[in-house]
Amino acid sequence: MKILVTGGAGFVGSYVCEEHIRRDHEVVSLDLSDGAKVEHLMNNARFRHIQGSVTEELLIDREIRSADLIYHLAAIADPRVYVEDPLRTIEMDLLAGLRVVDLASRYEKKLIFTSTSEVYGRNPDLPWTEESDRVLGSTSINRWCYATSKAAVEHYIFAQHQRNGLEFVVYRLFNIYGPRLDSLGAGRVIAVFLDRFLSGKPVQVHGDGSQTRTFCYVEDAAKGIVQGSLSPTSANTVMNIGTDIETSVLELAETMKSVGGFSSAIETIPHVEVFGDSYEDIPRRVPDVTRIRELVGWQSKTSLEDGLRETIKYFSNAPEKS
């Protein structure tokens, strides 16, 4: 079986590639990155990395046509980019996404798409099942362009399924973390906190830190994604993937401090000072993970402490690999 993973040299993508190689599949990663996160796979005869863009028409056409199963993970997934450069986010997450769906449908390839917990917006009725409402803010608030782009691609996948029989699995990911997460100091919360802890600077928690998230260890998530993508029981469904254990952002900082034995102070800083007016934070985000447990038999196993220990070890030993 030949697998194409767009964004295969990204954080989650690198683990999805590994999972398929472990199953003796042939894997092609297509990513803008030079492949630092899949360097350890480069000598494997079943793995090939192409440094290129999903927006290169001939390239993406050829690679989708020649694969058996397509993962579309390539995306702008960094909150700073979708606040600062919504056009780039929409071009990549919406427009390029639609083209990938078109090609998968045209060549009759099963498509796996990574959507996001952000599609539920700030719906206050928790936990969110896959059928929960989307409650979003105004289109004048840049942060919603990411959720809206992902949701529009989901709609397009469902419509292609209905009209043309496209086979698919859509995953809505809830805060996946672990080794190879974003560069230290950039992107998502754990990488930002870790950068401050490792350099001994105060850690800045946005708002009062009471906002909660659920954190799912990346090896668990990749296993679930691959299991669900290969299983007939979850074909043509959308599934939340994550844990339903809530942790406040302040608790996260405190847990990282204790697991890593760090000495940095933990401070709070108003959202508006960090993101300006164009950002709305979401107080709680909790998935209902019943569907993936029942259809795929998957649930996250790694405790936050154990996952953070592995993450801290990775970034402490090899920060240049981030």
Ligand X SMILES: NC(=O)c1ccc[n+]([C@@H]2O[C@H](COP(=O)([O-])OP(=O)(O)OC[C@H]3O[C@@H](n4cnc5c(N)ncnc54)[C@H](O)[C@@H]3O)[C@@H](O)[C@H]2O)c1
Residues of this chain that interact with ligand X (CB under 6 A) are: 6-7, 9-13, 30-33, 53-55, 73-75, 77, 92, 114, 116, 173, 175-176
8-state DSSP, 53: -
Which is nearer to ligand X, 53 or 204 (by Cβ)?
53
Q: In sequence order, which residues have a C-beta less than 8 Å from that of residue 140 and are 6 or more positions away?
A: none
**Taking the complex as a whole, how short is the minimal distance between the CB of residue 16 and ligand X, in angstroms?**
9
- The active-site residue out of 15, 71, 120, 146 is 146
Which is nearer to ligand X, 146 or 262 (by Cβ)?
146
Rounded to whole angstroms, what are the CA distances from 186 to 143, 175, 194, 286? 17, 15, 10, 24
Which is nearer to ligand X, 74 or 238 (by Cβ)?
74
How far from the centroid of its chain's Cα atoms is residue 307's Cα? 16
Q: By Cβ distance, which residue is nearest to ligand X? A: 10
Sign of CA dihedral 314, 316, 317, 321: positive
Alpha-helical segments (H) within the chain: 11-22, 57-66, 79-84, 86-89, 97-106, 144-164, 189-198, 218-230, 249-260, 271-275, 290-296, 304-317
Which is nearer to ligand X, 175 or 311 (by Cβ)?
175
**Taking the complex as a whole, how short is the minimal distance between the CB of residue 104 and ligand X, in angstroms?**
15
Q: Is residue 146 among the annotated active site residues?
A: yes
Q: What's the Rg (C-alpha) of the chain?
A: 19
**Taking the complex as a whole, how short is the minimal distance between the CB of residue 200 and ligand X, in angstroms?**
26
**Taking the complex as a whole, how short is the minimal distance between the CB of residue 83 and ligand X, in angstroms?**
15
The catalytic residue positions are 146
